[in-house]
Amino acid sequence: MKLVVGTAMAARTKLPATAFSSSSAGDNFSICKSMVEIQGYTCQEHKVTTKDGYILGLQRIPVGRSANNKTSNSPPVLLQHGVLVDAVSWLLGSPNESLAFMLADSGFDVWLSNTRGTAASRGHTSLGPQDPAYWEWSWDELVDIDLPALFQYVQNQTGQRLHYVGHSLGTLTAFAAFSENKLLNMLRSSALLSPVAYLGQMPSLLARTIAETFLAEDLYLLGAREFIPRGNDVAKLLDFACNKLRVSCFDILSLLTGPNCCIKNSTLNAFLEHEPQSTATKNVMHLSQMIRKRTIAKYDYGNLAENMKHYGQSTPPTYNMKSIPKNLSLFLSYGGKDTLSDVNDVQVLLDDLRNHDADKLVVQYRQEYAHVDFIIGSNAHQVVYDPLIAFFKLH
């Protein structure tokens, strides 16, 4: 009965209760053809193989619609999406509304990354998504392996240092990398939307329920290494969460992200047609640890021996946000209604950055914005993207 109820709720919230298909996600789907070229842009599909064998899909929009800007002179920008979505999330509005298209039309060489395990990045040199070992990673690996590989590839292709745009998890991995002095020699500046470094005070009912009830850990112990937002496991999760919290699940997006103010129904429908995407259950476990422990640290293996094996100490090392170089050019934009990048957690981050060079840090606060407004909000092009692009042009 619970499975039926959960499946029905998933359908009502436009989260299809069918397992994610690697065939529909990979070889037969081209982000360039389906999302970019139809808007009148040149688009290239690239592949980046990481040192641990993951084959990441990367889309390049080298010029804008006018094609007057030369690729060799265009500063490259890498866009990194958040958890449970992919690069399509940057492309759902019109060319005058979507950040990727706006950057291309403003003279930038745009590169769109896709996190391992999402539709365009399910390849591996020796494993497949059906193999449990394929999913043995958390966002630590994105910091240590994927981001450096992507940065190096784009720099090799363009001969230039990059601008970087991250949203949600794409900001967390950037903060962690910057705090360890990674990527800096390849970076011009960074724009971080819905910045996530701390999660201890986040009020998202669904995310906090997942963390505090150890649901991802239970799924992992049951052998579910792939966290499939379109599958039956999540239908069960929605049923559990909604019954426990006694809230309506008709707007599951708001339950997770906060009440987004400015999303058109047509854009939201397009978003839910393609998203959400898979991630590793271990990645959800790592994020859950951050919520419970109120720290930003490497993955906790849960026992002394494993932590000693991986880190040489009994507890996971922390990422120190105060170690981010003070002269790094940063543009931060956060929202007052965002329940994932909560204003109180952002304030902890800003306290860590209080000694940052004043001319290198721009902080923008959008009181009416929640988490998803930053990527598909109907007015984001005016209130967030125009200032972001101006910031990049200064750096």
β-partners of residue 113 are 58
Please give the positions annotated as active site. 168, 338, 371
Average pLDDT value for the chain: 89
> Distance (Å, rounded) from C-alpha 152 to C-alpha 157?
9
Instruction: Give me the CATH number covering residue 107.
Output: 3.40.50.1820
Percentage of the chain surpassing pLDDT 70? 86
pLDDT at residue 4, as a whole number: 25
Cβ atoms of 333 and 382 within 8 Å: the answer is no
Q: What is the pLDDT of residues 349-388, one digit of tens each?
A: 999 999 999 999 999 999 999 999 999 999 999 999 999 9
Answer yes or no: pTM beyond 0.85: yes
Structure tokens at 383: 């209130």
The total number of structural domains that make up the chain: 1
Cβ atoms of 293 and 318 within 8 Å: the answer is no
Q: What is the pLDDT of residues 276-297, one digit of tens each?
A: 899 999 999 999 999 999 999 9
Pairing of strands 54-61, 279-280: unpaired
Q: What is the pLDDT of residues 6-26, one digit of tens each?
A: 322 333 333 333 233 333 344
Terminal-to-terminal C-alpha distance of the chain? 57
- In sequence order, the 6+-apart residues with CB closer than 8 A to the CB of 265 are none
pLDDT band per the 50, 70, 90 thresholds, residue 73 = confident
Q: What is the pLDDT of residues 229-262, one digit of tens each?
A: 765 655 566 566 556 655 544 467 788 899 999 9
Which range of residues forms the domain containing residue 232? Answer: 2-394
